[in-house]
Amino acid sequence: MNESQPETAGSGAGRVGRTSRDGRPHCPRSGVPSAGKGFRVGKLALTFDDGPDPRWTARLLDVLGDANARATFFPIASRAAACPGLIDRILAEGHEIGLHCDEHIRHSERSIECGRRDTARALRLLASVGVRPKLWRTPWGDTASWSAQVADENRLQIVGWTVDTHDWRGDTAGQMLRATKDDLRDGAIVLAHDGIGPGALRADARETIDYTARVAEHAVAAGLELGTPS
């Protein structure tokens, strides 16, 4: 974990990033894009990893609500379990919650036994707050030869992304919009973060929220619905 990256206050995420031994930031270019089975034409999917964050996820939900948009959240399971009210709100407002992880591990660096244990722990934590995920965004989008098997065992569909905001770097909303606008098209899956994950170079998610508001405007102009990939 990049030690310069502050943990989220009250997140209860003590395990986050423990295995990021090379200090690489979360979810870089290694993600495997996957539009996902059943992804409907006419939709743009915003996805947010590493939350929930009591402050920033709540603000993000306000923005999504104002835009009548639905999004998908892939929270750190311990953070989700520590914020039951926020999880309730995410679900009540029509968003989807998928599995991310308990410990933020790279599958390619771990055994299937380790992956099974982490998945079981994460699913138990999510179940404790009423979440039974169908989608799985693996940490950093990294997969191993066993990832698909563990996904099948748990009836999960692994979902990647087609557009990476790199919001963990601390770019402004304007920078992110300019960098991604051409790819915000029908069927795109956008990776962003509502929590401060391992390796992040920013202290908050303010720019991600501003970016989301601008993407919502863009979607309206382009005739696209902001929805979920499932």
Stretch near Zn ion under the rule CB under 5 A, chosen from 63-71, 175-183, 196-204, 209-217: 196-204
Rank residues 51 and 227 by Cβ distance to Zn ion and give the closer one: 51
Structure tokens, 151: 């996904």
Stretch near Zn ion under the rule CB under 5 A, chosen from 31-39, 46-54, 119-127, 199-207: 46-54
Q: Is 50 in the site for Zn ion (CB under 5 A)?
A: yes
Q: Is 26 in the site for Zn ion (CB under 5 A)?
A: yes
- Select which of 26, 49, 53, 194 is catalytic: 49
Binding mask 126-165 for Zn ion (x = CB under 5 A): -------------x--------------------------
Distance in angstroms (rounded) separating the CA atoms of residues 57 and 35? 24
- Select which of 102, 107, 193, 194 is catalytic: 193
Distance in angstroms (rounded) separating the CA atoms of residues 89 and 64? 12
Distance in angstroms (rounded) separating the CA atoms of residues 163 and 46? 9
Burial 156-177 (b: 16+ CB within 10 A, else e): bbbbbbbbbbbbbeebebebbb
Q: Is 197 in the site for Zn ion (CB under 5 A)?
A: yes
Structure tokens, 25: 């930031």
152 is catalytic: no
Please provide residue 91's backbone torsions phi and psi, each rounded to the nearest 5 degrees.
Answer: -70, -40
Give min distance, CB of 104 to Zn ion, in A: 6
**The one-letter amino acid at 81:** A
Stretch near Zn ion under the rule CB under 5 A, chosen from 39-47, 57-65, 144-152, 195-203: 195-203
Coil/strand/helix, residue 79: helix
Strand blocks (E) in the chain: 43-49, 72-74, 96-97, 135-136, 157-158, 163-164, 189-193, 225-227
Rank residues 50 and 102 by Cβ distance to Zn ion and give the closer one: 50
Give min distance, CB of 46 to Zn ion, in A: 15
193 is catalytic: yes
Rank residues 26 and 107 by Cβ distance to Zn ion and give the closer one: 26
Q: Is 107 in the site for Zn ion (CB under 5 A)?
A: no
Coil/strand/helix, residue 144: coil
Q: Which of 48, 49, 163, 209 binds Zn ion (CB under 5 A)?
A: 49
Chain contacts with Zn ion (rule: CB under 5 A): 26, 49-50, 139, 197
Would you please indicate which residues are annotated as catalytic (active-site) residues?
Answer: 49, 193
